[in-house]
């Protein structure tokens, strides 16, 4: 594995040790020594572990860094394999020579590392005069992706056995897509594990926060300082879980990455200043009124962000609907064009009478642009950009390039439609996983607020109850219990800060799992902030009412 990792990094093991590993480890030992020498009193007793951990962390970094590069490249290759095999199968319908197929897919920049690996195969054949089968086997032993490695081995065997390239690539469609589905489902299973892990961590942090509030009553420690530590711990934990989840979910973006800015994006961008301006206006009104409790006031200030979230959700819903209708459209277009001798314009004209849901308007506009005979590639680019779908953008390029090379539209359309439909089905499972997170996170937010505000409320009551108690001569309240542990209002605001940051991170985590735009997270964020505010008010009122302190 390490040999493949160094190959991915493009360095020799000796060079890596000399340029990266040894300098990092040396820095760890020197920094640890200087830290201990400069601050000897700070690292006494069990604190001595801290300087010792620095070189250990540096050693682990030097060991793990090549593997992280290796894993990252493997993930990026795996996430492009379904596009890669679809394009190869589509291009093969034009009876394209096998080396030209390799060259065409290696020129596709969207594939990133996958294109670079394929380019190496092409260079080995054209520059180093290796056979295509030998070149495939050579790269298969060095590529970080298991899916790509297996494909190259099968490809090399097919070439050596004399199998027809078109027949081989057609059969590979199902094989590679099955492997991609297995990888995707595995990632979705990891999401379920991450959900349980996240809930467990948050529950642990709730007890830590409650402990930080109650402990000063017994020990006399500064409650504000302890709560500040809890705030930092909460934020770091949420951030780490967000980044960890982002690294585990499939890299399957929903939104198109076209440089063309269609009307729906303009509408989304215009909604942002409107929402922010409304937030500022509501904040001013709330501050001038001044009679609303802080948790509810903050929730009111964030509420206008829902407008941007609503606009974004509506766009995403339309994109998903277009994705669902695209397989039927591209299959019908391919069949119709095949019956008309490969003439796409005439096939589109015939399809205009059909209803493809939200895609119908885009199909009509595509026909009008193609009918101008100016630039068919640009016409398809505008079509994919207006749909807003990343999937449609990628597969439209394949369809146009393959038919332009002389491929059979009916076969190309069938290949693209079949693979496209399988990806859409996987995405539906992903959306279901995200939907299950929503209810869990809403309930978790209420649970965090309830537990933490109860702790703060108990401290508030204890300080109020014991403030007027007179102790016998020679005794102080501190001998029994510490009542002056800090400003309760400050503690409540710190708890509220935890709730707001946690709500933001949870909302973003839902969108990471969902695969949607991060702006649509504003809806979940605002709802969870309202849950936090209502929980704060209800919990405080309940405590004082139950204990007769109201």
pLDDT tens digits, 397-430:
899 888 888 888 899 999 999 999 999 999 988 8
Has residue 452 been placed in a domain?
Answer: no
Find the range with the poorest average confidence among 1-15, 41-55, 245-259, 278-292.
41-55
Reported as a single tens digit per residue, the pLDDT across 206-235 is 888 777 777 777 766 777 788 888 888 888
32 and 44 share one domain: yes
90 and 10 share one domain: no
49 and 145 share one domain: no
Spell out a b/e string for 368-389, using b for 16 or more CB atoms within 10 Å of the CB, else e. ebbeeeeebeebbbbbbbbbbb
Find the range with the poorest average confidence among 240-249, 324-333, 501-510.
240-249
Has residue 350 been placed in a domain?
Answer: yes
Has residue 518 been placed in a domain?
Answer: no
333 and 387 share one domain: yes
122 and 42 share one domain: no
Domain boundary among 117, 148, 163: 163
Range of the domain at 372: 318-423
Domain boundary among 391, 423, 455: 423
Residue 514 banded pLDDT, cuts 50, 70, 90:
confident
Has residue 411 been placed in a domain?
Answer: yes
Q: How many domains does the chain have?
A: 3
Distance CA 225, CA 235 (A): 16
Has residue 248 been placed in a domain?
Answer: no
- Cα 200 versus chain centre, distance: 21
Has residue 413 been placed in a domain?
Answer: yes
258 token code pair: 């076209």
| Spatial CA neighbour of 447 closest among 362, 439, 346 | 439
92 and 63 share one domain: no
90 and 52 share one domain: no
Domain boundary among 78, 113, 143: 78
Reported as a single tens digit per residue, the pLDDT across 29-79 is 888 888 777 776 666 665 667 777 888 888 888 888 888 888 888 888 888
DSSP state of 469: P
Residues with Cβ < 8 Å from 418, sequence gap 6 or more?
Answer: 173, 327
Has residue 56 been placed in a domain?
Answer: yes
Distance CA 484, CA 478 (A): 9
Reported as a single tens digit per residue, the pLDDT across 26-39 is 888 888 888 777 77
363 and 337 share one domain: yes
Distance CA 462, CA 245 (A): 41
């Amino acid at each position: 594995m390490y040999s493949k990792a160094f190959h991915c990094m493009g360095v020799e093991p000796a060079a890596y040790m000399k340029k990266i590993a040894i300098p990092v480890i040396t820095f760890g030992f020197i920094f640890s020594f200087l830290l201990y020498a400069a601050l000897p009193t700070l690292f006494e007793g069990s604190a001595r572990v801290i300087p010792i951990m620095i070189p250990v962390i540096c050693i682990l970094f030097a060991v793990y860094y090549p593997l992280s590069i290796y894993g990252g490249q493997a993930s990026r290759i795996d996430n492009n394999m379904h596009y890669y095999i679809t394009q190869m199968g589509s291009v093969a319908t034009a009876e394209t020579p096998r080396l030209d197929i390799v060259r065409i897919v290696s020129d596709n920049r969207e594939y990133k590392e996958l294109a670079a690996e394929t380019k190496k195969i092409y260079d080995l054949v054209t520059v180093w005069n290796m056979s295509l089968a030998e070149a495939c086997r050579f790269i298969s032993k060095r590529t970080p992706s298991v899916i790509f490695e297996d494909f190259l081995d099968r490809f090399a065997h097919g070439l050596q056995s004399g199998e027809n390239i078109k027949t081989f690539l057609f059969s590979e469609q199902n094989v590679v897509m099955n492997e991609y589905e297995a990888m995707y489902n595995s990632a979705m299973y990891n999401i379920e594990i991450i959900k349980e892990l996240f809930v467990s961590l948050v529950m642990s942090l709730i007890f830590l926060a409650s402990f930080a509030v109650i402990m000063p009553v017994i020990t006399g420690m500064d409650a504000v300082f302890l709560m500040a530590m809890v705030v930092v711990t909460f934020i770091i934990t949420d951030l780490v879980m967000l980044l960890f989840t982002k690294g585990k979910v499939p890299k399957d973006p929903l939104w198109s990455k076209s440089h063309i800015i269609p009307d729906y994006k303009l509408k989304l961008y215009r909604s942002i200043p409107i929402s922010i301006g409304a937030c500022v206006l509501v904040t001013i009104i709330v501050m001038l009124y001044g009679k609303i409790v802080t948790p509810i006031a903050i929730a009111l200030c964030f509420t206008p962000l829902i407008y941007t979230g609503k606009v974004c959700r509506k766009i995403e819903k339309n994109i998903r609907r277009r994705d669902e209708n695209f397989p039927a459209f591209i299959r019908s277009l391919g069949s119709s064009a095949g019956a008309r001798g490969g003439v796409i314009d005439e096939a589109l004209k015939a399809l205009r009478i059909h209803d493809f849901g939200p895609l119908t308007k885009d199909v009509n506009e595509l026909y009008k642009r193609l009918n101008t005979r100016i630039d068919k590639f640009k016409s398809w680019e505008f079509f994919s950009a207006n749909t807003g779908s990343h999937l449609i953008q990628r597969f439209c390029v394949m369809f146009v390039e393959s038919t332009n090379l002389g491929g059979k539209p009916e076969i190309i359309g069938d290949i693209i439609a079949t693979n496209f439909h399988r990806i859409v089905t996987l995405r539906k499972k992903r959306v279901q996983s995200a939907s299950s997170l929503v209810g869990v996170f809403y309930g978790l937010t209420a649970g965090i607020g309830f537990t933490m505000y109860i702790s703060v409320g108990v401290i508030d009551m204890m300080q109020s109850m014991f403030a007027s108690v007179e102790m016998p001569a020679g005794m102080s309240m501190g001998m029994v219990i510490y009542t002056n542990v800090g400003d309760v209002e400050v503690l409540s605001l710190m708890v509220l800060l935890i709730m707001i940051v946690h709500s933001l991170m949870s909302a973003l985590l839902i969108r990471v799992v969902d695969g949607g735009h991060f702006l649509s997270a504003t809806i979940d964020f605002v709802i969870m902030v309202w849950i936090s505010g209502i929980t704060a008010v209800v919990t405080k009122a309940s405590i004082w009412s139950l204990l007769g302190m109201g």
